[in-house]
Amino acid sequence: MLRFSKCPVSGGEMIEKEVEKLLRGGKHTAVLTVRAEVYLHCGERLYSKETISRFEQIRSKLLRQDLAGFQPVGQSFQVPSEHSNAQC
């Protein structure tokens, strides 16, 4: 899968490793572990075409609220920013 040995921007080394990816669709979020090429200096990730296609399928299912085959792992919460509670 490795296409470049160094980042074309930062010159940093790249390795292939498992990473955690969060995907959002509507009010739902999915967490999955996938293989990616990761630049060590900047943290940029490169995914295969197959992985990107999988991301698109999962996002589409989340938007349709088609959660069949997904395993619930907890709850998500939105925390208001500090600015929304500030007095002007």
Whether the per-residue pLDDT at 88 is higher than 80: the answer is no
In whole angstroms, how far apart are CA 12 and each of 35, 36, 50, 72? 19, 16, 25, 37
Say whether pTM exceeds 0.75: yes
**pLDDT per position as a tens digit, 5-64:** 777 777 788 899 999 999 999 999 999 999 999 988 888 899 999 999 999 999 999 999
Fold of 1-68: Ubiquitin-like (UB roll) (3.10.20)
Q: What is the pLDDT of residue 13?
A: 87
Q: What is the pLDDT of residue 83?
A: 75
> Which residue type sits at 37?
E
